[in-house]
Chains A and B, each alone.
Chain A
Amino acid sequence: NAGVTQTPKFQVLKTGQSMTLQCAQDMNHNSMYWYRQDPGMGLRLIYYSASEGTTDKGEVPNGYNVSRLNKREFSLRLESAAPSQTSVYFCASRKQGASAEAFFGQGTRLTVV
């Protein structure tokens, strides 16, 4: 049981390039999330999808787009990367229910030069 799988694990982009971070979960969870982690800032929510077919903005959505392709997959796209988007990105999923725990992927370390 793989849980939450993110690809790639590492990526270096030049300013202005685009890329898509992939996330897939095999736990049949309804909700999926994208967070970014920066030193001293904790985890900040970029976008989330409460269920298949819906997406909503989190705290820091600017510069990002998401697609909930199906129940398993939730991708994050950077259309024109900026150095300020250098960060570690985590995907997470939860089943329905307020007390449900979130399961996290291993993270993608993105550097924009």
Chain B
Amino acid sequence: AQSVTQPDIHITVSEGASLELRCNYSYGATPYLFWYVQSPGQGLQLLLKYFSGDTLVQGIKGFEAEFKRSQSSFNLRKPSVHWSDAAEYFCAVGPIQGAQKLVFGQGTRLTINP
């Protein structure tokens, strides 16, 4: 069955440090991959998406992600984090089985130390 795994439940980094959040997927065909961010008490906002072409995609707020088919991964990166990046991050894959479903990972909660 198709699935998305985010191995890290909680990550803490210092402000100004680099960040990498991991996402691994299991999917038989070419996946459509998404990263969303959820600030406390809010809904989810799209950071970036990949569906074809250049495997390095740029998103909003200075984030980027790289699709690696050989590793079934779509890791999210940021060179220098800001305190406002503290949030929960979700990786998602779709469509699933020809339907319009999006399947989400478990999420990674990011804490920023000053």
Residue positions of A touching B, CB distance < 8 A? 4, 30-31, 33, 35, 40-45, 48, 50, 56, 58, 90, 92, 94, 96, 98-99, 101-102, 104-107
Number of A-B contacts (CB under 8 A): 63
| CB <8 Å contact, A33 and B99 | no
B63 interfacial contact with A, CB 8 Å: no
Please tell me if the beta carbons of B42 and A94 are within 8 angstroms of each other in the complex.
Answer: no
Interchain CB contact under 8 A, A90 and B101: no
| Residue interface mask B74-98, A partner, CB < 8 A = 1 | 0000000000000000101011000
Q: How big is the B interface, by class?
A: 20 to 34
Taking Cβ atoms with an 8 Å cutoff, the residues of B that contact A are 6, 9, 32, 34, 36, 42-46, 49, 51, 90, 92, 94-95, 99-107
Could you say which of A33, A43, A96, A99 contacts B32, with CB atoms under 8 Å apart? A99
B102 adjacent to A102 (CB under 8 Å):
yes
Write the chain A residue with the least CB distance to B106. A42
Identify the closest chain B residue to A6 (Cβ). Answer: B43
Residue pair B51, A98 in contact (C-beta under 8 Å) = yes
